[in-house]
A = this chain, B = another copy of it.
Amino acid sequence: MNDQQKTWVLLFQCPDQRGIVAKISDFIFQLDGNIITADQYATARQGGTFFIRIEFVISRDRWNKQSLSQAFLPVIRHFGAHWSLFDKEDPLRMGIFVSQPDHCLFELLYLWKSGELKVRIPFVVSNYEGHRDLVSQFGIPFHFVPATRQERKEQELLAIAGEASDFLVLARYMLTLSGDFLARYGKDIINIHHSFLPSFKGARPYQQAYDNGVKVIGATAHFVVEHLDEGPIISQEVVRVTHRDDVESLKRKGKNLEKLALSHALLQYIDYRIIRYQNKTIVFEDK
């Protein structure tokens, strides 16, 4: 790919009908663009909803987001589509909320530093002040907000996160966020829950897993909705356990699952591979 070409991602959905791929691909062809990858899905053979993710390159000089969007409008209108267009050179701003457990935080900071997690991190917010040194070493602003179950300080959280982030990650943030916060923030929030949802919602999932004598435990990355641990699932990881595992060893084994499930979900999300649809997700995996 030469430097005169710029890469865009189109996410597009509309009622399924004949000719969608033909129309969109022809449109890109007419603009002298080139499709790099395309991935599509329809919820049913007939009468369903059609989704497509197209990654394409096009002349950097001739097209910007506004002009591309403008040019694309007739196609959109023709199909009555919902759509978004993303500039792959313009990384999302990912705000991090985290409580005391630090394994997910560490993983995200490492992946970011090593260049795998291509985001900006405008801030890390925590109700545990002990993370300050770690976060500062990475050159990221740290905000200590001593939120508790009784005093969630959502006003303060919103002031920090509202404008400064494109989406939030709850990297083991142990307080729930109110429906009011979700509504006012108005953007995606991705949480890691330390169980294999829908099993073991809520508090102390490893204790619940232990009490139930399960032989496999899991972790789940999902979008946050108002009902606790019920948002659309993005990714899940699992590992075998035995009768010898006590709650402590479940927690220890679970840490790896949490890191894997969360980082996988984020890597898909920031590459615009996830579409929320009803209470589920469509994930056009990168591999």
Write the residues of chain A forming the contact surface with B, with a CB cutoff of 8 angstroms.
1, 18-19, 21-22, 25-26, 28-29, 32-42, 45-46, 102-103, 106, 110, 114, 116, 137, 196-200, 212-216, 218, 232-238, 241-245, 249, 252-253, 256, 260, 279-283, 285-287
Contacts and interface: CB of A to CB of B under 8 A. Distances in A.
Q: How many chain copies?
A: 4
A283 B199 contact: no
Contacts of A281: 213, 243
Given A242-B285, A242-B287, A249-B286, 15 more contacts: A18-B29, A19-B29, A22-B25, A36-B45, A37-B42, A41-B244, A103-B110, A215-B233, A215-B236, A216-B238, A242-B283, A243-B280, A243-B283, A253-B287, A256-B260
B102 A114 contact: yes
Contacts of A212: 197-198, 233, 279
Given A40-B37, A196-B199, A22 B26 contact: yes
Contacts of A114: 102-103
Given A26-B22, A35-B21, A287 B233 contact: no
A263 to B, nearest CB: 9
Nearest to A265: B215
A233 B213 contact: yes
Contacts of A215: 233-236, 283
Nearest to A32: B18
A284 to B, nearest CB: 9
A261 to B, nearest CB: 9
Contacts of A32: 18
Contacts of A234: 215
